[in-house]
Amino acid sequence: MSSPSLFRIPIVDLRAQYAKIRDEVRSAIDDVAESQQFILGPAVTQFEAQMAHYLNCAHAVGVASGSDALLLALMALDIGPGDAVITTPFTFFSTVSSITRLGATPLLVDIDDENYLLAAKGVERLLSEHGKIHQGATTDVRTGLRIKALLPVHLFGQCCAMNELSTLARKFQLRIVEDVAQACGARMAMDGHEKFAGTIGDLGCFSFFPSKNLGGFGDGGLVSANSSELAARLRMLRMHGESAKYHHAVTGINSRLDSLQAAVLSVKQRYLDTWCEQRIERAQVYHRLFRQSGLLGAQAVAIPAATSDKSHVFNNYVIGAERRDGLQQFLAESGIQSEAYYPLPLHLQKCFADLGYQQGDFPKAESAANRVLALPLYPELTVAQQEAVVETVGAFYRR
């Protein structure tokens, strides 16, 4: 993240949020300092219980980052060489690197262009054309790889089509690992019940990177689970695979949620729903301002579909913009920060060249990479600031 102080309107202003909760947060940090229990201990146990209660799931396991949450989730499901995991090329790097780091193969499927999310129809096509179910397992007939899991990403704060993906997972005997890094607090209707993103599949992977809807004072992450067996495995894997002190049942890693982060997050979690609502309200203000601006009809700008519920909690407000790089430059010159999440889809990254994907393989992800631009959005953003953002976008296209 660039320094907010460089911009009149930063993309996120964490100082405004901190000013409101300073005393509570400092007192929580003080409690940890007084206890001198920095590794796991009561602060982490309390935060894990708080998150499990909030998410209405059986278990929550604190880990060192969202990237580690993904890695540990896949490790807990025994995913490794010979296995494939279906996911999207249009996401943050570690969604895909968590698969390759374990020697497994990402099987990429293009996105829906209206919401940038993994297209359930594309997943269905891939599975029905190339997946062969035999004795409760699905094999990719082209490669012989066992397709073990789906890894949908609730990108920018918006829930994927989990009803459709869950049906496919059941039919093809796949596990589901949800990447909820950007969608903490989002929820959707599943089988007549409201469920939180991250609790629909087998495991949900959260990030507490400071700019997330629930952000810590550094790195942090969490895996949600309903299975006691998977939760126990995760607890073991985050502690070097220890089954008892200095006895290692499996090869794990060192990836625990820091106690100081847990203390800060316990305070901030209590505000999460309010902050999500404020993000949704501000997204609605952008929707209105863009509709009034005349920019949509001219096709210069596409805005996210309006949602009336909490299935999109707007970690980012992302527009699709013609001449995106020029617009970003123009906004920056006007003191407005914006970010292109993500300018190069993952199938075209140098480090994934050996997966064998080419330019043109995922046209929707490639087109999105040229158009997307995240505008300033955070709970304390004012309507006047949002008006200034939309006016400046308009000024760029009217030049």
**CB 91, min distance to ligand PLP, A:** 5
The one-letter code for the residue type at 33 is A
Interface map 183-222 toward ligand PLP (x if CB under 6 A): ------------------------x-x---------x-x-
Q: Does 182 bind ligand PLP (CB under 6 A)?
A: yes
Q: Which stretch binds ligand PLP (CB under 6 A): 13-21, 91-99, 228-236, 374-382?
A: 91-99
Gap between the Cα atoms of 345 and 85, Å rounded = 17
- Distance in Å, CB of 43 to ligand PLP, minimum: 19
Cα 72-77-79 angle, rounded to 5 deg: 85
140/127 Cα distance (integer angstroms):
8
Please answer whether residues 342 and 7 qualify as being in contact, where contact means their C-beta atoms are separated by less than 8 angstroms. Answer: no
Quote the least distance from Cβ 341 to ligand PLP, whole Å. 8
Question: What is the spatial distance between Cα 184 and Cα 150, in angstroms, rounded to a whole number?
Answer: 19
Nearest to 344 by CA among 66, 70, 89: 89
Told to check if 91 binds ligand PLP by CB under 6 A, we report yes
Closest CB 290 distance from ligand PLP, rounded Å:
24
CA angle at 66 for the pair 30 and 355, rounded to the nearest 5° = 160
From the CB of 11, what's the least distance to ligand PLP, in Å? 14
Contact segment (CB under 6 A) with ligand PLP among 45-53, 61-69, 78-86, 168-176 equals 61-69
Could you tell me how many residues of this chain bind ligand PLP (CB under 6 A)?
15
d(Cα 215, Cα 53) in Å, to the nearest integer? 18
CB atoms closer than 10 angstroms to residue 58:
14
Q: Provide the residue type at 384 as one letter.
A: A
**Contacts with 114 (C-beta within 8 Å, 6 or more apart), sequence order:** 305
Q: Tell me: cis bond preceding 271? Omega within 30 of 0 counts.
A: no
Site string for ligand PLP, 276-315 (x = CB under 6 A): ----------------------------------------
Task: Mark 135-164 with x for binding to ligand PLP (rule: CB under 6 A) and - for no binding.
Answer: ------------------x-----------
Q: 131 or 215: whose CB is closer to ligand PLP?
A: 215
Q: Of 39-47, 87-95, 107-115, 144-152, which segment contacts ligand PLP by CB under 6 A?
A: 87-95
Alpha-carbon span 395 to 397, nearest angstrom: 6
Query: Which is nearer to ligand PLP, 147 or 181 (by Cβ)?
Result: 181
> What is the Cα–Cα distance from 70 to 76, expressed in whole angstroms?
10
**Among 10, 62, 66, 345, interactor with ligand PLP by CB under 6 A:** 66
Residue 137 parent element (H or E): strand 137-140
Q: Indicate the pairing of strand 221-225 with strand 203-207.
A: antiparallel
CA 173 from centroid of its chain's CA atoms: 24
At its nearest, how many Å lie between ligand PLP and the CB of residue 211?
A: 8
Using CB under 6 A as the binding rule, whether residue 178 contacts ligand PLP is answered as no
Stretch that binds ligand PLP, among 62-70, 226-234, 277-285, 356-364 (CB under 6 A): 62-70
Whose Cβ is closer to ligand PLP: residue 182's or residue 337's? 182
Per rule CB under 6 A, is residue 97 in the interface with ligand PLP?
no
For position 92 contacting ligand PLP by CB under 6 A, the verdict is yes
Residue closest to ligand PLP (Cβ): 66
The CA distance from 201 to 226, in Å, is: 9
With contacts defined by CB under 6 A, name the span among 4-12, 35-43, 92-100, 365-373 that binds ligand PLP. Answer: 92-100
Burial of 241 (0-12, 13-18, 19+ CB in 10 A): middle
The answer to whether 342 touches 217, Cβ cutoff 8 Å, is no
Span of 30-38, 113-121, 177-185, 330-338 interacting with ligand PLP by CB under 6 A: 177-185
**Binding status of residue 116 toward ligand PLP by CB under 6 A:** no
Q: How far is the CB of 132 from ligand PLP (least distance, A)?
A: 30
CA 12 to chain centre: 17
261 near ligand PLP (CB under 6 A): no
Pairwise CA distance, residues 43 & 370, whole Å:
43
| Residues engaged in binding ligand PLP (CB under 6 A) | 65-67, 91-92, 94-95, 153, 179, 181-182, 207, 209, 219, 221
